[in-house]
Structure 1
Amino acid sequence: MTIQAVIFDIGNVLIEWQPERYYDRIIGPDRRRDMFATVDLHGMNDAVDRGGDFTQVIYDTADAYPEWRAEIRMWRDNWLDLATPVIEHSVHLMRALQARGVPVFSLTNFGRGTYEFARPHFPFLNEFDRDYISGHLGVIKPEPQIYQMVEQDCGLAPGHLLFADDRADNIAAAQARGWQVHLFDGPRGWAERLVAEGLLDRDAAGLDGQF
């Protein structure tokens, strides 16, 4: 079925998102493992991604664990150090698709406040043809409703959508609705997929030495 829009996840597709790596550097792997075992930090982040206030959710969690208070607050205060670096080849692919007239959407688990905080620092976040941000929608991947909301808003049949995400559960949920999918494990494989689909040629995809 002809692809009429390409959908990008953001974390670990366009921007690396590895909080554990940040904390390993700041407090050391042993203390990081202790903290993540004690505090459900990814659950905290899910609450933000569902629409919870960026600062309040994190600071409330920090106050609930005084022994980790300073470290938990880093999730908010040093967020840009957690969300780094940009995956430049993926950004190139997004822009190359748009240059060929292919609509590009985002579909991401991202808080409302977090996204507004991130947009000035990552200009490409302002360039999508359509944005589907979990914090605005009140639903997170891989819950089926979020994919249905995308379909209803963009008006495209599921089989006309090609979606890249780094998490197998998110991909499986999209595939169950009939979307075409790509499990992202690096920008080169994603570029190869876009070429195979006839959406880009190798040069436009950055496969001949640019990256």
Structure 2
Amino acid sequence: MSNVALVSGGTRGIGAAVARALAAEGRRVAVTYHGDEAAAARFKQEAGIPVYRWDVADESACRAGIEQVEADLGPVSILVNNAGITRDGMFHRMTWDQWRAVLSTNLDSMFAMTRVVIEGMRERRFGRIVNISSINGQKGQVGQTNYSAAKAGVIGFTKALALENASRGVTVNAVCPGYVNTDMVAAVAEEVRAGIVAGIPLGRLGDVEEIAQAVCYLTSEKAAFCTGSVLTINGGQYIANG
């Protein structure tokens, strides 16, 4: 059975933590990145995990990139769709480019990445797909109609794909992180960050490793009976129904 895991947006933040955790469990891991060459080089040197550059919103780039990963490492049996961007702004001022950029990278990528690997997983009767959504895809957020719409779409995509592929041994689940201690959150003004933490019942930001361990569980044999699930990890900031 193939033991290859592919993590999109895997050189920083949650993606990097997921890649490291999967590698620590003995997976053969590859990660993608798009823009930050310095971060990718640093991650590759520190983690010893191969990195591949392509745009996850580009269907042909995803196909070519994944074909190269499989030629190098073997068939992908674990896919973690983590890549995402924000282009925040109030909707009445939001541009079409802001809308399309976020929907393309955060939602169109679900099709572009998953479509390439799903047939192989079905044929081998084994696959683990984990899609990273967000607390704001569950509850919405001011200034993020584009991001919230995309991340809500990830949840619907997850549930439908899980139903289609359960009989073929392929599980599909989503993780919805709340506010996590990443570079993006660290860049927020201190007073804003303090306000965020004040709204989290556990009284702190999440750690990337906490999200990574949840992904590790969902990709393991121990989670074979778990599909179509949405795992909320947000310190109690938002408690979803079901």
TM-score of Structure 1 vs Structure 2, range by shorter chain: 0.3 to 0.5
Between 1 and 2, higher relative CO (CA 8 Å, sep ≥ 6) is seen in 1
Q: What's the TM-score once normalised by structure 1's chain length? A: 0.33
Return the structure number with greater strand share: 2
Q: What's the TM-score once normalised by structure 2's chain length? A: 0.29
